[in-house]
Amino acid sequence: MDNQQLPIIVKGRNGSLTIQLNDVFAKKMAMLLEGINSKITVEELAKKYGYTREHYYHIKRQFKKHGSEALYNKKRGPRNNSVRTDVVNNQIIRFRFLDPDMSPAVIGQKLRQMGYDVSDRSVSRTIQEYGLQKKTLQVKSSR
């Protein structure tokens, strides 16, 4: 079996502990404790626990700085909900169809007047995603 699939066994003078791979806190804490108490290299230790040498040092720094809270995995993904909701996107599309020459800045200003907190860049991004940008004609030179 692959090293990542087996539980980790930490051995000491008075016995051993088995750490399941899904227990991230225990895995990181055991790695830090074993790093302090054993004579194996950091590379071997990190590999045993499924981390890189750089990540081992990152975990160690975070533990020294923030304590045991730093050993828990943090939430991933966006911290806030998107400003561009379906309602805002529909309003942008509506304004663009009503007046194709209206700039993203003007659309953004109208949306802010309506109470939506949206940036001009978000308006531009929506226009681009829906393919509503102005098409410019390329004029060929008469040579």
- Tens digit of each residue's pLDDT (9 = 90 or more) over 52-64: 999 999 999 999 9
At residue 19, the pLDDT reads: 81
DSSP 1: -
Confidence tier at 15 by pLDDT (50, 70, 90): confident
At residue 136, the pLDDT reads: 63
- Average pLDDT of span 53-79: 88
Answer with the residue of higher pLDDT: 12 or 73: 73
Q: Please check the confidence at residue 85 and state whether its pLDDT lies above 70.
A: yes
Answer with the residue of higher pLDDT: 134 or 103: 103
At residue 138, the pLDDT reads: 64
Q: What is the mean pLDDT of the chain?
A: 85
- Tell me the percentage of the chain whose pLDDT exceeds 90: 45
Confidence tier at 5 by pLDDT (50, 70, 90): low
**CB–CB of 106/67 below 8 Å?**
no
Angstrom distance (rounded) from CA 95 to CA 102: 8
> Could you please report the per-residue DSSP string of 83-116?
S--HHHHHHHHHHHHH-TT--HHHHHHHHHHTT-
